Structure 1
Amino acid sequence: MTPEEVLARLDTPLSLRRRVFYLAVAFAGLTGSALIGLLWATEPGLPTRTGVAFGVLVAIGLGWAAFGGWAVTRRMPLFARDRVVAGWLGVAAWVAFSVGALVISLLRHDLELALLGVVLLLGAVAALNLRAARRARAVLVRRRNALAATETDE
């Protein structure tokens, strides 16, 4: 394969399979947000902390829906930028969950070890996903730049 052929493949937008996946992500985010919002709206007597938790879950779902829409509408190559954005979205969702869990635990004056384990596990998974996405993007960008340099040298 020549450098021109590789560059042409790198410059393509998302594949059909990737687009369908991101449409599914957007639909899942919208569906989850709508269902939680509907439950929240039809239960007026919920405690404040439950309302706050529902609001955070709706925001997380809308964030994933916006991400899916953003990724599908890109007409340029992303070079794994979509994976990095998804990684940061996962970290943000983990932070929101962790802060909420910490606040609830402190208000109850009881820190559950199982909850702490779940928070740490989810944080590790989110951090590892973000790190892998950033590495994959760096590799693709380096490859693109090297191929572009090779193409201009000829």
Structure 2
Amino acid sequence: MQDMTEEPRLSAQDMIEGLAPALSPRTRIRAVAALLAGVAGTVFVGTLWWSEPGPLPGRTHLAFALFTLFCLAWTGYGGWLLTRRVPLFATGRMIAAGIGVVASVATTAVVTIVTVRRGTGVGPALAVGGLFVAVVLALAVRASARRAALLRRMDELTGREER
């Protein structure tokens, strides 16, 4: 029979969650920046798209829709990050890296297609786009490694087996 005066024991997971119930100031700043940039981008691209005179080609509508979607993704990411009250174990960075990879690859593809259709040479478009893709992939790999390290550490603290 358990003594009623004995305090309940907390698991390592409960202690971790108790230590970090809110976002760090750095993470909060990143979240607000992503949210504001996403909202500003959505408003800017949407207004530009809406105010274009005359009928636009289908490719132009597609490009505007794509850029609006990227901005909405950043808005959603910033809002999601601000509402988190538990440790994320670098999940937020993984999501941001995913958005960055998709946005940079898609933008590079759109710009490359436009330069091919215009016949203005794809070299600069591929060079700049390739640079953006390389940087965002490096950040994605770094985020993945950080998340794996944090999850390994959590497993060590909780006594769980390797994931």
Structure 2-normalised TM-score?
Answer: 0.79
The reply on whether 1:96 has 2:106 as its aligned counterpart is: yes
* 2:35 equivalent among 26, 49, 56: 26
Which residues of 2 match residues 58-137 of structure 1 at below 5 A?
A: 58-137=68-147
Indicate the structure (1 or 2) with the bigger Cα radius of gyration.
2
**Where do 5+ consecutive residues of structure 2 fail to align?**
1-11
Count of residues in Structure 1 that have an aligned counterpart in Structure 2: 148
Deviation string, structure 1 residues 82-139 (Cα, Å, up to 9, x no partner): 0000000000101210220222123223433221110110110011010000000001
Distance change (3 Å), C-alpha of 1:147 and 1:99: same
Question: How many percent identity over aligned positions?
Answer: 35
Which of the two has greater helix per residue? 1
User: Shift of residue 43 of structure 1?
Assistant: 1.5
1-side partners of 2:17 and 2:46: how far apart? 44
2-side partners of 1:39 and 1:85: how far apart? 28
Q: Which amino acid aligns with 1:71?
A: L
Contact kept, 8 Å, 2:108 with 2:125, in 1: the verdict is no
Contact kept, 8 Å, 1:87 with 1:130, in 2: the verdict is yes
Partner of 2:51: 42
Q: Which amino acid aligns with 1:120?
A: G
Deviation string, structure 1 residues 16-65 (Cα, Å, up to 9, x no partner): 33223202211110111111111211123264243332222111111100
2-side partners of 1:41 and 1:124: how far apart? 33
Q: Which amino acid aligns with 2:84?
A: R
Higher mean alpha-carbon deviation, 126-135 vs 11-20, is at: 11-20
2-side partners of 1:10 and 1:124: how far apart? 36
Superposition RMSD in Å:
2.4
Higher mean alpha-carbon deviation, 127-136 vs 6-15, is at: 6-15
Distance change (3 Å), C-alpha of 1:46 and 1:16: farther
2-side partners of 1:55 and 1:8: how far apart? 39
Q: Which amino acid aligns with 1:39?
A: L
